A and B are shown apart, each in its own frame.
Chain A
Amino acid sequence: MKTIKFLLVTLAVAILFNSCSDDNDDPVIVQENPLSEMNRLTTLSANNHTIELYSENTDFTVGYNMFYYRIKDESTDTYLSNAQITVNPLMHMTSMTHSCPKSAISKMEDDTIYMGYAVFQMPGNADEYWELNMEYTLDGETYAISERIDVGMPEDGFKRVQSFIGADDKRYIVAMIPFEPEVKVNAFSAMVFQMENMMNFPIVEGYTLGIDPRMPSMGNHSSPNNENLTFDSSTGKYNGKLSLTMTGYWKINLQLFNKQGDVLKGEPVTDENEASSLYFELEF
């Protein structure tokens, strides 16, 4: 009996000691930070506010990026939950300036965190660069802030976004939503935008994105039971199923069909035609 008691006491002390030391080491707020798994890509400071920008990626990369924002009031050292935010990335090219497909900014469950995506079609370079323009309204007052950002190609160099002129002479952008590929039937999503002009990129509704995954290193074989991506009006995404029968490099050949089923871009893969001109790439 005595031994058991001793053990119980020791255990209790150990637990107590452990939790205390946790409290002492880290500020409480970090423990609860839903962004702790994310990478802070940049911090913008102005107007006595600090705006933190987070992403699952370590860099601004070409393709679909989901960004998370927090606004800290430097005077009170608190994160603000009552802001209205708009974000408009601009690409300053030598000959012109254009924007990119992006979403409105919404709030997450933790209402000090705001989120929205942007789809960068191209990387910056020495002469041409992306600029993040942000406007936020707090208590009726609107602030603007902007910063040049470095958007690079993904480290693996794989294609996850493609912009093109369709058979209907309209400009489109197709972007893959990043996911963790596995050997299984993967949920697979993409977005399709139309480039109305330099600044407006509305979501294209009701089209179909045909997929044909292939392994060029293994005789260009395909996989069974894929499902073409169809439009989901509630999320604005095109969702389908992607079967990957083994790890390695896969080329996801695509064909974009309009509502009438006409091909706007992409070719079927056949014995003669190894790949479509419209495709995504992945490797795992």
Chain B
Amino acid sequence: MGHLKNITMYYFFKRPVFWVFKGPKTINMALLALCCLSFHGKGIGQEVPVPLDQDSILPINLAEVIVIAPIYKDMEHRSYQKPLATLDGYLESSQKVSMIKRGAYAWEPMINDMASERLSVTIDGMRIFGACTDRMDPVTSYVDVSNLSNVHVASGQQGAKMGNAIGGALDMRLEKSGFVQTDWKSAVETGFESNNNARIYGYELNYASDSFYVDSDIIYRDADNYISGDGEEVAYSQFTKYNVSLNTGVKFSESQKLLASFIFDEAKDVGYPALPMDVSLARAFIGSLSWVQDTFLGDLYEWETKIYANSITHIMDDSQRPDVPIRMDMPGWSDTYGFYSQARLQSGGHKWLFKWDGFYNKSLAEMTMYPNNPNEASMFMLTWPDVRTLNTGLFAENTMAFENSVLIIAGRISAQGTNVANEFGRNSLRIFYHSMEQTQARFLKSLSTEYRYTFKNVELVNGVSYGDRAPSVSEAFGFYLFNSFDNHDYIGDPNLKNEGALELKSKISLPFKNGKIGAEGNFFHTQNYILGEIDPTLSTMTIGADGVKIYRNLEYANLFNVSINGVWDMSKNLKYNGLVSYHRGVDQDSRNLPFISPLTYSTSFRYSLPKFSASLSLRGAADQVNFNSEFGEDSTSAYNVVSLSVAKTFFISDDRLDAQVGVENLFDTYYSTYTDWNNIPRMGRNIYLTLSYAIN
């Protein structure tokens, strides 16, 4: 597989430029200055502070909730948000999440500059794992905004409730009508985007009464290749996807509810311009059943038990690529079955949350290469050797409230066993690890403390925590996984030690007359940080690859994230947000870690009236100075991107029509960010229009 670093490998077509103004440097500088002058205000994200405990005395929280569902529409007119954006778009606009892009679809979320293997990504608490060895199907690609109400982003060990992770947790929460007397409701949504000719159609039909509800929705997205800021078409950036979901609940008594959810998601003909292969099919079946009871044994309350299962099929292929050194198929499968049961307890000044959870995952991926000589046998290997992972853990969280402060102590212990079930795969790995056992067991732990303090409206949060994680399937058992970024084949190491991180965090929030300014920082000292290291003795498998890397435990790595954000209510209707963040990540030899953000900033103005709103926003980054060339990174140039949108709500008898028009990348800037795989350029100017018609 060749690498696509060379930009000439894209197919470019000139297209008419209808906006001549290309955002000259002076304008960009002016905008930047404006941003800096204005108290580093808060970002364009749509974060709503949601307290962990509803009656907590302090609203401040380190977690971030990305609101998606229209249920919030009534709270505030959300013109600053593109209603039918992909989930990836929503996540990207958040303060805490950044997205690795390999194309226009299926971006990979990162929290604290840490990606999939260091995060716990869940759907309504369900563990689910992508089936692609090349991380082309992050879990977030198997849901759609149509069936989500919000995404809960927890940083570091604050996410330990969801599973063992270092960087944090991302829980995508499904939208549920709940047991409210709303009767039948339906809505039609449609959207169009000019840049990649994206067509979006959605429909939802909900019924709710005080003892039963059912929510159903379907959404279809179809996009062609997008066009970058210099007017050139980025080949293989098309995608087609549809998602169907069904949520239902039955109330058996005032305190007993049975809930069920089902999601079917299928993406076809998905291009990955940054990679040498595309995806012909990515399909997920996701289902769960849960029992919710207000009271439980003794003084326990809010008891919730869920069982779930999901199954993913992911087919990578290169049939659309005209020129490849060798044809290949790379299908992968990931099935997960799991459960959790949680309850709360209150005694004296202590509030407890107890959770017991477990999952069983099967990950299998294969690779078949077809030699150019048709008489030769095809070449077959197992890239994920049917790895079965069984994990079960106990989590407890204790919240103690004092007069001006809250102390939260949380812990998790988990046991994880893995079994390399396939003999062919075991023998393959034993080429490298002669005495590799078929099974292995690991114990994982997490302990965190967080102290929130309020003094004369100044809010302060400090936390110390430690948590570890087991190596991912690829890191432990991957067999010749090609990474097109650093152009190396990767081989797992089953003997890797657990990666453990000591995390320090601090946040301060200072309110002033018409707004708030906050600063937040965290520091991760990660021991046994897992990263691929070159083994010069090994021969590459992939044609054209530069070498072979084996996942190793570095002695340690240090990651440092700091951000300043602010909100300013300039008038009753005009709001200003700003955010500046800085990140740094190095290993024990001061080598830069890959995918560490340079200085980034975002700022926005929002004007809102009850039925009308408008927004103007800018995001940008400074030059990427600290990059990891061993990982294929180079310095990404600074950029500024401006977007604006206008939204209006109409009422037609009882029905409601929301219309929004917006322009993203107004000045058609050509840019790519540090998260763009192989520096593929981002989308150029894009005009979008969305209409949402709700029938009550």
Contacts and interface: CB of A to CB of B under 8 A. Distances in A.
B379 A217 contact: yes
Interface in A196-235: 215, 217-219, 221-225
B430 A184 contact: yes
B540 A248 contact: no
Contacts of B540: 219, 221
B580 to A, nearest CB: 46
What size tier do the contact residues of chain A reach? 20 to 34
Given A245-B381, A246-B379, A183 B539 contact: no
B59 interface: no
A143 interface: no
Interface in A244-263: 244-249
A243 B541 CA distance: 13
Contact of A183 (B326, B373, B424): B424
B320 interface: no
Contacts of A185: 427, 430-431, 434
B427 A225 contact: no
Contacts of B378: 247-248
**A interface SS class:** loop
B380 A184 contact: no
Contact of A224 (B377, B381, B432): B432
Contact of A284 (B377, B480, B539): B377
A218 B480 contact: no
A245 B479 CA distance: 9
A283 interface: yes
B377 A247 contact: yes
Contact of B379 (A225, A243, A248): A248
A248 B431 contact: no
B369 interface: yes
A224 B376 contact: no
Contacts of B380: 183, 246-248
A283 B379 CA distance: 10
Contacts of B539: 221-224
A184 B428 contact: yes
A91 B188 CA distance: 86
A218 to B, nearest CB: 6
Contact of B431 (A221, A225, A247, A284): A225
B427 A217 contact: no
Nearest to B367: A246
Contacts of A182: 424, 427
Given A218-B326, A248-B376, A225 B432 contact: yes
Contacts of A248: 369, 371, 376-380
B510 interface: no
Given A215-B379, A218-B326, A219-B544, A249 B371 contact: yes
A17 B395 CA distance: 62
B377 A249 contact: yes
B538 interface: yes
A245 B541 CA distance: 9
Contacts of A224: 431-432, 537-539
Interface in A139-161: none
Given A217-B326, A219-B325, A221-B540, A245 B376 contact: no
B57 interface: no
Contacts of B372: 217
Contacts of A222: 539
B328 to A, nearest CB: 10
B507 to A, nearest CB: 48
A182 B428 CA distance: 9
5 contacts: A217-B369, A223-B431, A224-B538, A245-B480, A283-B377
Query: When A and B form their complex, which 7 residue pairs have the shortest distance between CB atoms, in order from nearest?
Result: A184-B427, A248-B379, A222-B539, A217-B371, A219-B543, A246-B381, A247-B380
Given A225-B431, A245-B381, 6 more contacts: A183-B380, A183-B427, A217-B371, A217-B379, A219-B544, A246-B380
